[in-house]
Structure 1
Amino acid sequence: MIRVREQAREQIATARLLIGDRGSVPATKTFEWTVVALCTWLMTGAYLDAWAHRHLARLETFFTPWHAVLYSGMFAVLTFLAVTALRNRARGAEAGRSLPTGYGLSVVGCVLFGIGGVIDMAWHLRFGIEVSLAALVSPPHLLLMLALGMIVTGPLRAAWKRAGKRAPWTAVISATLLLSMFTFFDQFDQPLVNVWAAGQVFFPDTLRYTEELGILGIMVQTALLTGVVLYLLSRFTLPFGSITLLAGLNGILLGSLAENFNLIPVAILGGLLADLVMLWLRPGPQRITALRLAAVIGPVGVSSLYLLAVQLTQGIAWPVTLWLGSIVVSGAIGLLLSYLAVQPPAPQPD
């Protein structure tokens, strides 16, 4: 009995160290790039599963090839982290701190993902396979979302806690995967998935709802993309091409869901435009005015490119007030988010 209690205390102590996320071993480039590759596999599996639900006949079972890609990705991440931790333990690292700083929570995320997967399977057996919006907001899937975010942000957390101002590419890709996790659960109203601006409504009673969904989709995507970029800028300087990579990879995943491949270049060009704005203004915590200006120009440019592409490929069904207003509100969202990312200096006491 005493032995069991001691083991329980050790396990609790190890769990606390993992949650504390302070490792005792350095992260090598090979380690971090391997984690990034495996996390990309995991996120790709999630989007493949979503694509299958959209384009294949109604799926009536939990056991599908798409789930296999998703859960094998999680298993690969967990296996790699576990093997690395065991090797470091054999070299004398402390239990719970045998991974580099930033990756303890990724292990916790893998465990939560496994628990969520079991709950998800039981949920499907009891309530059936969800479709459409219900599949995105079912409780097991929301648990998987939380776990997924914890897993893929390991490289970002690791870079955040290290010295240095320049963001490594592993952190940029990690932030891209975080953005893609958010947009995965927001796919029902994503501009690259549902092109509401081009929609032809045959029933007048539904016109206002499609317009509202379209404007809301642009607003939410602006907030998500700009929010992630500003979060990075609050800590790092970004290498040129970072936003192109971030917006481009996310655009590829989203555009592929509904096979809107013609809109994927919009995400890439929008990211490139934002990178050029960054190169011009050099925004950051020490250049607050430049940061606020970039937070306006970037979203305005991306929204304008998107609506221009819709006009050229499908035609915009909105009146000028709506499409022009959506561009203006994108800039306003970026400006307001910049105040959350970097606050004005606090007044000094007299």
Structure 2
Amino acid sequence: MTPRTDLVTALLGIWFGAGLMIDAWAHGNLSKLETFFTPRHAVFYSGFVVVSGWISWQVWRNVRAGRQGLAAVPTLGLVVTMMLIISTPLRSAWNAPDVGARPSLGRLLPALLGLAFATTLVSLFLTYGDALHYRPQAIVQAFSMAQNSGAPPRGAGPVAVGPGAERVAVAMVVTNVVMLAPVLFLVRRWLLPFGSVTVMYAVIALMPGAQTGFRNLPILLSFVLAGFVSDLLIRQLRPSSERRAAYWAFAGLSAFAIWSLYIGVASATGGGLPAVPELWTGAPIVAGLIGLALGALFLPNATPAQPVLPGATATGRE
């Protein structure tokens, strides 16, 4: 598919995804939604109809061009769920010969948007474990509690974590994996242009923002800032499938940065540092270790650069 076709697909996917976010906001913030015929559903389902029409149009064009059978169906036509529809630009860019190993932000933007909106679907179905739903005050309060008492006495040994802290800590682990995995997936394939992770995290933050009516805006903005920090790490470390150490370092440091900013912003806007130091200092470290484990899982062995044949165009990393 051409870059222009991918861009149109991405934009229509935004329509589709935005409709779902609006509907999620309505179910989380409005009452008496018994009827199916609502403006929110109109946006959502009209997006579905338009995307379906666009897919059909591409198939028809390919048939007229002489393709037969599955050859007439573009990558974006082989879909059975919304997830596959909105991730179409990513699959198209993955094998596009003009993308190369170091694409520009503009060329990769449709793929980034598609994968980001696909990630929002995952976060929607994991709402019960989404750390972006908590307000700053709730995070500070949760990490200020030890079981049966306030902060434990000095020298009392391991902290007995209260229920509030347990829930926030588990949500951080779940969200850490959901947010970081797509980025690590992309970094294996391309040296991402600066701004890529910022764009993705800004889009991903829209779903929990819609569900909470953006009442937790400082936490959402902390993730956008974390995306910027991750872009800086990519520029500095240049992680790739050929540079395993840099890839692992990026995975661990990016996760650590995300959750350090999460707790830092929560503390700055939610009443100060939590009362239990072991919790608010340990959580980002645990997140970083989980990120490192994800990096090892995604890239257990470095991939050697592919040799460039005489007369061929280099598509591997320099």
Taking structure 2 as the reference length, the TM-score comes to 0.81
What is the aligned partner in structure 2 of residue 226 from structure 1?
180
Would you say 1:323 and 2:280 are equivalent positions? yes
What is the aligned partner in structure 1 of residue 117 from structure 2?
177
State how far apart, in whole Å, the 2-side matches of 1:208 and 1:148 are.
Answer: 38
What is the aligned partner in structure 2 of residue 244 from structure 1?
198
Amino acid at match of 1:332: L
State how far apart, in whole Å, the 1-side matches of 2:181 and 2:217 are.
Answer: 25
8 Å CA contact retained: 1:211, 1:318: no
* TM-superposed deviation, 1:96: 2.6
> 1:320-350 CA distances to partner (integer Å, 9 max, x unpaired)?
111212101110111000112111259xxxx
8 Å CA contact retained: 1:188, 1:194: no
> 1:104-154 CA distances to partner (integer Å, 9 max, x unpaired)?
32xx32xxxxxxxxxxxxxxxxxxxxxxxxxxxxxxxxxxxxx12111111
State how far apart, in whole Å, the 2-side matches of 1:199 and 1:188 are.
Answer: 19
State how far apart, in whole Å, the 2-side matches of 1:242 and 1:223 are.
Answer: 18
What is the aligned partner in structure 2 of residue 255 from structure 1?
209
* TM-superposed deviation, 1:313: 0.9
Amino acid at match of 1:166: R
Structure 1 spans left out of the alignment, 5+ residues: 1-26, 110-146
What is the aligned partner in structure 2 of residue 306 from structure 1?
262
Change (3 A) 1:228 1:275: same
8 Å CA contact retained: 1:300, 1:328: yes
Change (3 A) 1:162 1:29: closer
State how far apart, in whole Å, the 2-side matches of 1:74 and 1:166 are.
Answer: 33
* TM-superposed deviation, 1:275: 0.2
State how far apart, in whole Å, the 1-side matches of 2:24 and 2:130 are.
Answer: 14
Equivalent positions of 1:147-186 (< 5 A) are 147-163=81-97, 164-167=100-103, 168-186=108-126
* TM-superposed deviation, 1:181: 1.4
2:35 aligned residue (48, 61, 64):
61
* TM-superposed deviation, 1:175: 1.4
1:293 aligned residue (241, 244, 249):
249
What is the aligned partner in structure 1 of residue 63 from structure 2?
89
* TM-superposed deviation, 1:199: 4.1
8 Å CA contact retained: 1:97, 1:104: no
> 1:178-233 CA distances to partner (integer Å, 9 max, x unpaired)?
2111111122332221234134799x88x832211100111111111111111111
State how far apart, in whole Å, the 1-side matches of 2:177 and 2:23 are.
Answer: 25
Change (3 A) 1:327 1:36: same
Equivalent positions of 1:126-141 (< 5 A) are none
Equivalent positions of 1:36-55 (< 5 A) are 36-55=10-29
What is the DSSP-based 3-state SS (H/G/I as helix, E as strand, rest coil) of the residue aligned with 2:228? Answer: helix
1:104 aligned residue (60, 77, 97):
77
CA RMSD of aligned residues (A): 2.1
Would you say 1:198 and 2:140 are equivalent positions? yes
What is the DSSP-based 3-state SS (H/G/I as helix, E as strand, rest coil) of the residue aligned with 2:132? Answer: coil
Q: What is the aligned-residue identity percentage?
A: 29
* TM-superposed deviation, 1:273: 0.3
What is the aligned partner in structure 2 of residue 284 from structure 1?
240
8 Å CA contact retained: 2:244, 2:302: no
Counting matched residue pairs gives 278
> 1:37-67 CA distances to partner (integer Å, 9 max, x unpaired)?
0111111111111110111113212332212
> 1:79-125 CA distances to partner (integer Å, 9 max, x unpaired)?
0110121122122122332243x3132xx32xxxxxxxxxxxxxxxx
State how far apart, in whole Å, the 1-side matches of 2:288 and 2:115 are.
Answer: 22
State how far apart, in whole Å, the 1-side matches of 2:12 and 2:286 are.
Answer: 37
State how far apart, in whole Å, the 2-side matches of 1:291 and 1:322 are.
Answer: 27
Which has more helix, going by share of residues? Answer: 1
Change (3 A) 1:199 1:42: farther
8 Å CA contact retained: 1:42, 1:71: yes
Amino acid at match of 2:228: L
State how far apart, in whole Å, the 1-side matches of 2:210 and 2:49 are.
Answer: 25
